[in-house]
Amino acid sequence: MKTTGTENADRANFPQRPAASPFTAASQSTTPFLSSGPVVGSEAFAFRPAPPNAPQTTPSAPQTTRPYLSSGLMVGSEASGFRPTQPVRYNDPSIPRPPSSFVPPPTGTLQHHPTPQFFSTAQAPPPRTSPGQPVFPPPIRAPAGHVPSPPVYLHSQPQISSGQMGSPPQSINYVPSGRSVPPSSSDSLFSAPRSTLQPLQSAFPGYSSKSPNAVTQPPPVQSAPVFTHQGGYGPPPPATSTPFLAHQRGYVPPPPVAAPPAFYSREQMQHQGSGLPMGAVQGLTEDFSSLSLASVPGSLDPGLDSKVLPRPLDGDVEPKSFAEMYPLNCNSRYLRLTTSAIPNSQSLTSRWHLPLGAVVCPLAEAPEGEEVPIVNFATTGIIRCRRCRTYVNPYMTFTDGGRKFRCNICALLNDVPGDYFAQLDANGRRIDLNERPELTKGTVEFIAPAEYMVRPPMPPLYFFVIDVSISAVRSGMLEVVAQTIKSCLDRLPGFPRTQIGFITFDSSIHFYNMKSSLTQPQMMVVTDLDDIFVPLPDDLLVNLSESRSVVDVFLDSLPSMFQDNVNMESAFGPAIKAAFMVMNQLGGKMLIFQNTLPSLGVGRLRLRGDDLRVYGTDKEHTLRIPEDPFYKQMAADCTKYQIAVNVYALSDKYTDIASLGTLAKYTGGQIYYYPSFQSSIHKEKLRHELARDLTRETAWESVLRIRCGKGVRFTTYHGNFMLRSTDLIALPAVDCDKAYAMQMSLEETLLTTQTVYFQVALLYTSSSGERRIRVHTAAAPVVSELGEMYRQADTGAIISLFCRLAIEKTLSYKLEEARSSIQQRIVKAFREYRNLYAVQHRLGGRMIYPESLKFLPLYGLALCKSIPLRGGYADAQLDERCAAGHTMMALPVKNLLKLLYPNLVRVDEYLGKASSKPDELNISRLPVTAESLDSRGLYIYDDGLRFVIWFGKMLPPDIAMNLLGEDFATDFSRVILSERDSEMSRKLMEILKKFREIDPSYYQMNHLVRQGEQPREGFFLLTNLIEDQVGGMNGYIDWIQQIHRQVQQNA
């Protein structure tokens, strides 16, 4: 095995770290990468984060201790969840420890909880050992040069049900809805620093004055005329109780701030209502939004016109300030922070209440017209900080005539290698700056030299494991899968190196010899499931271009080979084991197609989801995690050998997605769920999604690390992956459809820097066989005021973290607790924000919130109503919940927001227009509520995963006939929408095609719904109109009022 090259050369310069730190700097010792054989080698070093507070001069110890790394892979709660920071650090009494684990308070005793429960780290009790604290093995000292082969380390708990997972370090507190919120220390909140009156520019040194919020002059008073014809939502609501409100009559748009109607700036409110002298508002920089609400607690009268509630009808609007403040930052599609104003103290952090962290989509498609520059340093080697290993980026500064550069992450002054030297001009800029994308772009890709690999880059490898039991054949799945794979063979990435192989299974395992010299494949059947062996290990995995004709013959004959199969069993587990044995020399993607609940051999499952006695009890959550440790163990093995698993589950019965999904979850894979798959109905969806899975650009054998500046540290990671070491995310395969979230905390009481830098690095093998590092760098200002944090908040990133935290929580707690935690964090944030402003400005019964968070309550509500979290057990099928949970854990921000608040558009008028073309399609989105539906209309509901096409009762018959012909009279569950010989039909199909092109990651299947046709209408549409009250679930107005009441309590 090749060891690291230049990494070793750097070793002597590494400072020594605390003995127990998992960040230790050893290079030749015991990383699992080096020891685990055919994997990628030096990433563990290459991706090492900045050592906190490391002195620059201390030499490195030759032997170091890496408790995490030496124990191999970590599975379980580290990987998925809320493990509170690195426990070893708690040995340092100077560092406050976040709450170790969340234990839901018993109902009824909430009010007795001490205040600190509701704040986080800064006010948390001092460190002490708690029962929930993970116990770590003593540090292992490895002799230099000795590379032991660590066992795969599975978390000691076989299931995900540990208490450590339920809660992030910043406590999510459970308060049953309707119950009063415990008092917060509002006195101290009121005494919050009032430095907020500083102009924005001074709050952010080096901060561009372009900030849209930097309104320092009172705006012209022009609200009255605006307010008479605002919106399009009809007249404002009748005046509510206070004179102030009466005067306001609801909502006036802020003249200078680009905000939609229904919001107005603080300055304006003061002019109109508060009676404060004009001078008092000079220089105010913060603006907020507000809603007037009935202020009678418990009042059922809405007191609020639903039409004026804020709605994200423009979809996800990425925060501009991030890029405007720092034009050298990477695009926000790669990295978004929950607030791009980093708190300078722990006490500030504790008053933020929302997640503090980032969402990363390392391989997001580049913005239109842009390409990621590729940089090859060739013999120079990649320029990095020798201490913290940060990659060269636009924020590194050159000094000493160009001979030194200062690291923006750890501030170390590094020597510029001779080959990379360039003189500085009069402004201190390198004279070659314009030829150096790595110094001018926030996103670059480096070609990695040999020391970033321990073996030649692997070829793209696709291995298919296909169920051929009777239900797989009868559903038509086998035929669709075989045809789709065949149709994609020319487009698989990596020609001519691509490798391919197949296993099929029912009660036995069938291997296929695909050797290129054969004219047709040879099938070998293994029936001994307890002792799986691989016959002909060399010819089961073949080079696609060499064996192409054999592969073609195999795929052509596959459906007919099993057409008369009556076998009802499934040796699923043994089949995966066999596939693993075939693949583990190289790694790659394992695609499993599964129709029948695993019934034979290891990993067999039982119909536990059908056990009604468990539902509604404290044990219900156990149904959402795997019962058999086989699945997690298998996933750990796969990750170790660079195998990503994608599961296509197509059963018509309960199939235990909780267990099957584990394979995808911990290997960076993906779950595709097609309940009751029928080829005649679902064929297009499966075809499209499988084709995308096979042909999209994929990064292989990769690891991801995010570094950040001194004083800040990423502590928890959330998404579908496995953690290798404390901060290295292992991703056997990754693509543009996957995002990951992480939370950070402050390591120091007070940050003294003005800026914090972040760098995301993904080391991977490209399909073309190059080892590469994609690097995204961004900066964010450090602030000393809470108002600024809220103003720079990014609702999309916050919701992405909320989503992942809440879904993880459902694996250990009841659904209602996961929902409640979302609600309570919103309440606490809004209360905190209100306390900043309300009293001084006499806002009375108004609900106020920062403009940046105006959609937060709605998205929070949508999250609570999303399939993984909604209602009780009867409100979504167990498998459906688990599948949706796996999907949502991986979605990029934009896709997640659209899933939560779908597009609803009316199209009948457009279809009726004579000349309109899809290019002219400019249909405005409607609020997602039944009130938007006119029974004379035709509507499309699009959440990115499916279309619901709703036909109003009074829709003109000619439209219906044009679109559906005679089918219009039949039961819609049997109607397939297809293009007919009419202009309207063609136009509708074009619209749908266009919508699909906007969101290509999934194929939206059409579901036709007729107004009033139950239960179909209810199932597909009405329960998903998230603004409406359905069953026991809140509507938008109720939800806002509930939040408002809770905010006001103790405010």
| Exposed/middle/buried for residue 155 (C-beta within 10 Å: 0-12, 13-18, 19+) | buried
Measured from the CB atom, is 407 or 690 closer to Zn ion?
A: 407
- Whether residue 408 contacts residue 397, with contact meaning beta carbons closer than 8 Å, is answered with yes
Q: Tokens in use for 154?
A: 């599975």
407 binds Zn ion (CB under 5 A): yes
Count of residues that interact with Zn ion, criterion CB under 5 A: 8
The single residue among 385, 481, 736, 829 that binds Zn ion, judged by CB under 5 A, is: 385
Measured from the CB atom, is 406 or 688 closer to Zn ion?
A: 406
- Whether residue 36 contacts residue 150, with contact meaning beta carbons closer than 8 Å, is answered with yes
- Using the CB atoms, write b or e for 429-442: b if 16+ within 10 Å: ebeeeeebebbebb
Which of 24-32, 404-412, 570-578, 1029-1037 is the region at the interface with Zn ion (rule: CB under 5 A)?
404-412
Helix (H) or strand (E) holding 358: strand 357-360
Measured from the CB atom, is 26 or 815 closer to Zn ion?
A: 26
The single residue among 154, 262, 354, 388 that binds Zn ion, judged by CB under 5 A, is: 388
Which of 67-75, 243-251, 379-387, 523-531 is the region at the interface with Zn ion (rule: CB under 5 A)?
379-387
712 binds Zn ion (CB under 5 A): no
Kind of pairing, strands 461-467 and 499-505? parallel
Measured from the CB atom, is 405 or 951 closer to Zn ion?
A: 405
C-beta atoms surrounding 611 within 10 Å: 12
- At how many degrees (to 10) do helices 572-583 and 630-640 cross? 10
C-beta atoms surrounding 189 within 10 Å: 18
Which of 285-293, 341-349, 399-407, 841-849 is the region at the interface with Zn ion (rule: CB under 5 A)?
399-407
- Whether residue 501 contacts residue 582, with contact meaning beta carbons closer than 8 Å, is answered with yes
Measured from the CB atom, is 45 or 264 closer to Zn ion?
A: 45
Measured from the CB atom, is 388 or 905 closer to Zn ion?
A: 388
How many angstroms separate the CA atoms of 280 and 269, rounded? 12
Q: Tokens in use for 800?
A: 């992405």
Which of 276-284, 384-392, 610-618, 1035-1043 is the region at the interface with Zn ion (rule: CB under 5 A)?
384-392
CB of 716 to Zn ion, least distance (A): 23
Which of 382-390, 428-436, 480-488, 736-744 is the region at the interface with Zn ion (rule: CB under 5 A)?
382-390
Measured from the CB atom, is 409 or 888 closer to Zn ion?
A: 409
Reference 801, options 812, 793, 811; nearest CA is 793
Range 411-430, binding Zn ion (CB under 5 A): 412
Measured from the CB atom, is 712 or 805 closer to Zn ion?
A: 712
Query: What letter would DSSP give residue 815?
Result: H
Own/partner contacts of 894-897, CB < 8 Å, gap of 24 or more, are: 894/315, 894/316, 894/333, 894/796, 895/737, 895/944, 895/999, 895/1001, 896/796, 896/799, 896/800, 896/803, 897/312, 897/315, 897/316, 897/796, 897/799, 897/859
Three-state secondary-structure class, residue 970: coil
CB of 709 to Zn ion, least distance (A): 9
CB of 341 to Zn ion, least distance (A): 23
- Whether residue 910 contacts residue 987, with contact meaning beta carbons closer than 8 Å, is answered with yes
How many angstroms separate the CA atoms of 437 and 430, rounded? 12
Q: Tokens in use for 208?
A: 């561009």
409 binds Zn ion (CB under 5 A): yes
CB of 387 to Zn ion, least distance (A): 5
Which of 140-148, 155-163, 389-397, 676-684 is the region at the interface with Zn ion (rule: CB under 5 A)?
389-397
Measured from the CB atom, is 410 or 805 closer to Zn ion?
A: 410
User: Using CB under 5 A as the criterion, what x/- string covers residues 41-80 for binding Zn ion?
Assistant: ----------------------------------------
Please count the CA atoms within 13 angstroms of the CA of 731 that sit on its side-chain side: 30
Measured from the CB atom, is 674 or 714 closer to Zn ion?
A: 714
396 binds Zn ion (CB under 5 A): no
Which of 381-389, 729-737, 808-816, 968-976 is the region at the interface with Zn ion (rule: CB under 5 A)?
381-389
CB of 385 to Zn ion, least distance (A): 3
The single residue among 410, 645, 773, 889 that binds Zn ion, judged by CB under 5 A, is: 410
CB of 28 to Zn ion, least distance (A): 21
User: Using CB under 5 A as the criterion, what x/- string covers residues 498-527 for binding Zn ion?
Assistant: ------------------------------
Measured from the CB atom, is 49 or 952 closer to Zn ion?
A: 49
Measured from the CB atom, is 244 or 405 closer to Zn ion?
A: 405
Measured from the CB atom, is 47 or 740 closer to Zn ion?
A: 47
| Exposed/middle/buried for residue 981 (C-beta within 10 Å: 0-12, 13-18, 19+) | exposed
- Using the CB atoms, write b or e for 876-896: b if 16+ within 10 Å: bebbebbbbbbbbbbbbbbbb
Transcribe 621-639 into DSSP letters: GGGGS-SSTHHHHHHHHHH
CB of 412 to Zn ion, least distance (A): 5
643 binds Zn ion (CB under 5 A): no
Which of 60-68, 249-257, 408-416, 904-912 is the region at the interface with Zn ion (rule: CB under 5 A)?
408-416
User: Using CB under 5 A as the criterion, what x/- string covers residues 797-826 for binding Zn ion?
Assistant: ------------------------------
User: Using CB under 5 A as the criterion, what x/- string covers residues 339-378 for binding Zn ion?
Assistant: ----------------------------------------
How many angstroms separate the CA atoms of 31 and 22, rounded? 11
The footprint of Zn ion (CB under 5 A) covers: 385, 387-388, 390, 407, 409-410, 412
